[in-house]
Structures are given as structure tokens and as C-alpha cells.
């Protein structure tokens, strides 16, 4: 059993204890143990088998015994007993926003609700709203949450699929009969939400590749299987299509199956205007066949395939159409073809351009890695600086820091900085924007930080006008360096709160406030559709991982992908600056000059 699997079991036990109404200290002990386990750097299974769990602070005797049972037998009698104490469908109720363990327990005990279908029926008959602590508004919100969950069921987050997608590509690449292989579709274009995965590969032995694909690990069901195309369902209900083509057809097939549909149509129309034909089967010069009376014989022309124009890769296809190469992320028919025609496709930011990042959490608030572990992980990635921005005091649910704890953390950061060479920790805060637009800390305390991330964490039900006014007031503070996750969205979970982004972007341009591109896979906020306009107004982007664990610094790669989709260049992203230059940029934002 891996450490991650064991942590998941501990979290599951904690949730089930809450659902059963046990003493909250009991469930908290399991969550504390999960966090303690998360900090282990040793091989987990070997560590447990050696009987060393009693060395880990935060893991008591009872939990230690259960963990050893999990590792040695692969099961937990205690967890199975908890699961058996109520219907499995009750746990699914917790997926609905606003339904915590306490309310789910009431629904089960008072109304006998065992799953989402029964919950929906109870809300529609207005039985839920009559329960103490619920009311008509809660009932309405539950129904909206169920409908939202249903509408999201067929979609998947881009960031959640990266590991699986890369694994599928590598597996095919290792096949001896595969020449070239790539992901396609909306995933290759870097869309934040995708329905399925598309794979395109070239081979002279397609059946051999097909057989290997449909029989590979993780395939739950083969939907259809032909000589050159297969569709399978992977774990979690994710559909995956594979197309196998001859190698000469590969560039056009990859272009076609990458999309978008609108981009492809624009390319085909351009090809037709040039007397060519573009499809998934190739690029051709159209034949000019005429009948004996001189008129065009459309039937003959349709039958003729035309003269093939051989292209070794996608770049040559674009070149044949008189265009500069268009990166997959930009292929949405949102001005990229016109830009390519006049050679104005920008050199997009790359992962290797990043020199540091901000907005990271530690165990001081709701993170799972220590300050030292975060610094070590950042240096291992080759970063020159890392900003620590634990939550402010109003985020009590995230163990936000008060003034005294801020002081202790700042002293710890100063001490650690004395041990580094060529690397620096910045002292920051993710400071709550209160309902009236004030900040959660006083100006003197805000002035003590190297930077401030201002974020909204509560009051999402405000009107667009109220929310916009609230955020604008915060951005006008000279101590606010950057605006965190500007719309508060959680992909496939929570819609953005209403806010006038045009006014927010204009304010950022006027005040010099940086806008965060939050790379957490559930956020990816600010949305890529707004970045081109923000860039053109001179707004600086800062790509942040919102990391709550050292390994989550890797989210930066996802953030770079979204930045590329938003047409951002290296010079548009603040944290591509070197340590010396970013120190100057932070002082300039504070009004301290260069």
C-alpha cells in the first residue's frame, strides 16, 4: 500500500466518523495522523513494516495499529465496520455544496435519505426545508447542487488527467510498431475541462497497435474496435479514442483531431481559396477536371483525390497554407489565423522560463508540508525564490494566522534565508478581502510582508456590483501585490462568483496590481479567455500553484499551459523574472522604487 492510499483511508475514516456523529476530536485525530503521514520522506511500506510508526508525532497507538493492519493485510476491519454502519449512498451526499457530515446525518436519520435520488425527491416535495437548520433556501441550494453535479458528470478536469494521459502516450510510444504518437483533442489544446482523451499514432501495423491498446491496463470496457479506430472506457468512466494512420497521413490526422472544430473549418476554407483541399486524410492540390463542353464535372472532381502535398509535420502544413506555425493551445479560431498570416504569433511562455513563484501554504495554516520542506522542493525544481502566503486570521477554517503567529513565521523565514545561497523565501500572506472590501490585517502588519495576495474566501452570494466594489477597494490598497483566484471558481464544483472582470482588469492596469493565474487544477483562475485582453492592457500575470504540499509546486506546469492558452509571453509573467529583478518589482509595486 502506498503512503497516498493510506492517507486516503485515514481521511475516509475521519469523514465517516463525522457522518456518524462521533466526537469531533476523534475524527480530528485521524486527519492529524494523515497530515503527519504526509510528511514522511522514507519508503512508507518499509517504514511501517519496520515498526517505526511510533516515531511519528501525531500518530497515536490506536491509529498506528490500524495503519499496520492496512499495510500488512491490505484492509481495515475498522473502516469496513464504519462503512457498513450506513448506506454507501449517504457518503455521496457530501459531494453537494453546503452539505456537510452533520446535515447529511440529519437527512439520513430524520428522512431516511440514502442517496442523491432520494435527496432530490425529498427537496422537490419540500420535506427537507421543514427540517431544523435547513429551510427553503437550503432546499433550493441543494437542488441546484444536484443539477450542477449531474451536468458536470460527463466532464473531467485537465489537471486531473495529465498523469494518465502521459502514461497512455508513453505506453503506445514503447510499442515496437508505433512510429509517432501524440495526444489530440481538447486535452492537447489545454482546455481546462475535457470530455475525453484522443490519441493519434502512426503505424504500418494498425491491428497490432489496436490489440495492445484495448488490452492495456486501466481499460474497463471496449466500446468499439475497428482496424484503425478504437474507443475504450478507462477507470472513472473516461472515454479514450485511438486513431492509427499511415505515417504520411500522421501530420494531417493530428492537426484534424487536435481541433478545434472552428479552427479546422477556417483552415479548410483557406485551403479551398488556394485551390487546395485539407482533411484528416491529407493536404491536396485540387484537380481541375472539366467535361467535353468545358464545364466543370463535379462528379469527376469529387472522385479524384488530387495531387498530395507531402508534409512532414504540422508546421509544414501551416507553411503550405501561408501561415506561421500555430501552437495547439491557440487553435480556437480566436484570432490566431489572422496573427499567423502576418507572422504575429507570439513566443509563448515556457515552463523553463519560470524562476520562482508565490502563494504557497505550509503547516502553519492549512498546508501539509513544513516551511523547510517547501523551500527544499522549490530548490529541487530549480527555482530561485518561493513566496509563502499562509492564510490570514479570518480564514479560521484554514487555521489562518493571527498577528503573533505571523511574527513567528517571519522570524523563521529570516532565519532560513540566512542559510540559503542563490535562493530566497519571501514572506507573504493570503489576506482575506472582507465583505466591505477591507483587508483582514492592519496596514502596519501588511507593510511587514514582502508581498500580499488578496483573495475572497467568503460571501460568494453577493451581487455582481457588491463583489466588484469589494474587490476594487482591496486592489486600491498600496499593500496588495496581487489578486488571488479572481473569480473563486472550483471547476466542476462551484461556479465563479458574479464579478465584473472588465472593471477588475482595468483596476489592475491602473494600480499595477498583478493578477494571479492560480494553477491549482480545480481553479485555473483567472480563466484563459481573459488573459489576452488583460495582457494588452499591460496587466502582469503571476503564475501561482496555490500549493498546500511540496509536491503541488508541480502545478506550475499546468499554470504555464493555461498562460500559453491565454497568449501570454515570457515578459507578461512576473515570476519569469530573476531573483534580483523580482525583488525590484516587489519594491516598485510597494512604491519603493527600483
Residue 155 phi/psi, 5-degree rounding, is -115, 160
Strand arrangement of the beta sheet that strand 307-308 belongs to: 276-279, 282-285, 307-308
Is pLDDT above 50 for 292?
no
**pLDDT value for 546:** 97
Whether residue 195 contacts residue 156, with contact meaning beta carbons closer than 8 Å, is answered with: yes
Residue of 35 and 475 predicted with greater confidence: 475
**pLDDT value for 7:** 86
Percent residues over pLDDT 70 in the chain: 96
Whether residue 518 contacts residue 559, with contact meaning beta carbons closer than 8 Å, is answered with: yes
Q: Which region among 67-71, 332-336, 383-387, 558-562 has the lowest average model confidence (pLDDT)?
A: 67-71
**pLDDT value for 271:** 96
Whether residue 517 contacts residue 541, with contact meaning beta carbons closer than 8 Å, is answered with: yes
Compute the distance between CA of residue 124 and CA of residue 146 in angstroms, rounded to an integer.
Answer: 12
pLDDT in tens, 390-432: 999 999 888 899 999 999 999 999 999 999 999 999 999 999 9
Task: pLDDT band for 497, please (50, 70, 90 cuts).
Answer: very high
pLDDT in tens, 21-73: 888 888 888 888 887 887 777 778 888 888 888 888 888 889 989 898 888 88
**pLDDT value for 34:** 84
Whether residue 465 contacts residue 497, with contact meaning beta carbons closer than 8 Å, is answered with: no
Q: Within its chain, how far is the Cα of 168 from the centroid?
A: 19
Whether residue 516 contacts residue 534, with contact meaning beta carbons closer than 8 Å, is answered with: no
Compute the distance between CA of residue 157 and CA of residue 166 in angstroms, rounded to an integer.
Answer: 15
> Which of 87-101, 114-128, 155-169, 504-518 tops mean pLDDT?
504-518
CB environment 284-294: b (16+ within 10 A), e (fewer)? bebeeeeeeee
Is pLDDT above 90 for 250?
yes
**pLDDT value for 145:** 84
Compute the distance between CA of residue 111 and CA of residue 142 in angstroms, rounded to an integer.
Answer: 15
Grid cell listed for 194: 475535457
Residues 6+ apart with CB under 8 A from 152: 492, 493
Residues 6+ apart with CB under 8 A from 438: 473, 474
**pLDDT value for 301:** 42
Task: pLDDT band for 291, please (50, 70, 90 cuts).
Answer: very low
Question: Which of helix, strand or coil describes residue 279?
Answer: strand
Domains of the chain as residue ranges with CATH: 3-152 (1.10.150.110), 156-245 (3.30.460.10), 252-341 (3.30.210.10), 351-589 (3.20.20.140)
Whether residue 158 contacts residue 193, with contact meaning beta carbons closer than 8 Å, is answered with: yes
**Residue 113 vs residues 107, 513, 565: alpha-carbon distances, Å:** 6, 48, 44
Residue of 561 and 217 predicted with greater confidence: 561
Grid cell listed for 92: 455521496
Is pLDDT above 50 for 371?
yes
pLDDT in tens, 137-187: 888 889 988 888 787 778 999 999 999 999 999 999 999 999 999 999 999
Residues 6+ apart with CB under 8 A from 170: none
How confident is the prediction for the chain on average, in pLDDT?
A: 91
Please name the helix (run of DSSP H) or strand (run of DSSP E) that holds residue 314, with its range, or none.
Answer: helix 314-320
**pLDDT value for 190:** 96
Whether pTM > 0.85 for this model: the answer is: no
Question: Of 360, 369, 344, 415, whose CA–CA distance to 555 is shortest?
Answer: 360
> Which of 24-28, 245-249, 295-299 tops mean pLDDT?
245-249
Amino acid at each position: 500500500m502506498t503512503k497516498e492510499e493510506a492517507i486516503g483511508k485515514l481521511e475516509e475514516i475521519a469523514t465517516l466518523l463525522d457522518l456518524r456523529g462521533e466526537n469531533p476530536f476523534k475524527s480530528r485525530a485521524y486527519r492529524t495522523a494523515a497530515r503527519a503521514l504526509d510528511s514522511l520522506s522514507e519508503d512508507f511500506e518499509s517504514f511501517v513494516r519496520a515498526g517505526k510508526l511510533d516515531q511519528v508525532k501525531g500518530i497515536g497507538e490506536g491509529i498506528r495499529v490500524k495503519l499496520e493492519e492496512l499495510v500488512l493485510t491490505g484492509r481495515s476491519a475498522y473502516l469496513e465496520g464504519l462503512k457498513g454502519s450506513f448506506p454507501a449512498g449517504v457518503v455521496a451526499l457530501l459531494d453537494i455544496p453546503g452539505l456537510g457530515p452533520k446535515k447529511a446525518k440529519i437527512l439520513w436519520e430524520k428522512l431516511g435519505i440514502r442517496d442523491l435520488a432520494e435527496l432530490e425527491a425529498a427537496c422537490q416535495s419540500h420535506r427537507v426545508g421543514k427540517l431544523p437548520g435547513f429551510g427553503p433556501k437550503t432546499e433550493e441550494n441543494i437542488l441546484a447542487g444536484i443539477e450542477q453535479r449531474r451536468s458536470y458528470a460527463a466532464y473531467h478536469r485537465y489537471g486531473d488527467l495529465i498523469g494518465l494521459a502521459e502514461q497512455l502516450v508513453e505506453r503506445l510510444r514503447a510499442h515496437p510498431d508505433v512510429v509517432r504518437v501524440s495526444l489530440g483533442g481538447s486535452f492537447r489544446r489545454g482546455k481546462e475541462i475535457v470530455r475525453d482523451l484522443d490519441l493519434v499514432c502512426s503505424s504500418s501495423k494498425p491491428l497490432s497497435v489496436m490489440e495492445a491498446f484495448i488490452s492495456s491496463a486501466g481499460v474497463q470496457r471496449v466500446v468499439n474496435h475497428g482496424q484503425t479506430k478504437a474507443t475504450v472506457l478507462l477507470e472513472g468512466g473516461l472515454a479514450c479514442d485511438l486513431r492509427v494512420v499511415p505515417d504520411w497521413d500522421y501530420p494531417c490526422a493530428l492537426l484534424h483531431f487536435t481541433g478545434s472544430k472552428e479552427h479546422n473549418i477556417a483552415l479548410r476554407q483557406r485551403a479551398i481559396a488556394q485551390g487546395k483541399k485539407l482533411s484528416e486524410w491529407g493536404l491536396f492540390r485540387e484537380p481541375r477536371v472539366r467535361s467535353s463542353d468545358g464545364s466543370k464535372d463535379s462528379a469527376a472532381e469529387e472522385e479524384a483525390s488530387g495531387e498530395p502535398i507531402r508534409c512532414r509535420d504540422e508546421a509544414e502544413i501551416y507553411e503550405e497554407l501561408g501561415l506561421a506555425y500555430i501552437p495547439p493551445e491557440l487553435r480556437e479560431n480566436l484570432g490566431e489565423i489572422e496573427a499567423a498570416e502576418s507572422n504575429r504569433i507570439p513566443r509563448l511562455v515556457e515552463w523553463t522560463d519560470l524562476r520562482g513563484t508565490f502563494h504557497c501554504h505550509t503547516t502553519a495554516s492549512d498546508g501539509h508540508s513544513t516551511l523547510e520542506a517547501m523551500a527544499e522542493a522549490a530548490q529541487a525544481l530549480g527555482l530561485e525564490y518561493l513566496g509563502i502566503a499562509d492564510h490570514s486570521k479570518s480564514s479560521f477554517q484554514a487555521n489562518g494566522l493571527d498577528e503573533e503567529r505571523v511574527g513567528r513565521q517571519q522570524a523563521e523565514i529570516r532565519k532560513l534565508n540566512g542559510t540559503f545561497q542563490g535562493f530566497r523565501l519571501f514572506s507573504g500572506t493570503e489576506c482575506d478581502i472582507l465583505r466591505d472590501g477591507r483587508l483582514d490585517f492592519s496596514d502596519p502588519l501588511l507593510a511587514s510582508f514582502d508581498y500580499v495576495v488578496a483573495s475572497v474566501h467568503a460571501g460568494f452570494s453577493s451581487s455582481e456590483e457588491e463583489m466588484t466594489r469589494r474587490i476594487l477597494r482591496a486592489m486600491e490598497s498600496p499593500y496588495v501585490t496581487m489578486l488571488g483566484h479572481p473569480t473563486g471558481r472550483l471547476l466542476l464544483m462551484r461556479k465563479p462568483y458574479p464579478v465584473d472582470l472588465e472593471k477588475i482588469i482595468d483596476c489592475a492596469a491602473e494600480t499595477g496590481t498583478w493578477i494571479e493565474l492560480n494553477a491549482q487544477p480545480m481553479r485555473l483562475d483567472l480563466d484563459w479567455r481573459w488573459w489576452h485582453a488583460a495582457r494588452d492592457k499591460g496587466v502582469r500575470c503571476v503564475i501561482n500553484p496555490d500549493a498546500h504540499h511540496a509536491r503541488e509546486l508541480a502545478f506550475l506546469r499546468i499554470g504555464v499551459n493555461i498562460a500559453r492558452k491565454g497568449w501570454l509571453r515570457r515578459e507578461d509573467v512576473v515570476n519569469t523574472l530573476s531573483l534580483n529583478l523580482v525583488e525590484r518589482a516587489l519594491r516598485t509595486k510597494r512604491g519603493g522604487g527600483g
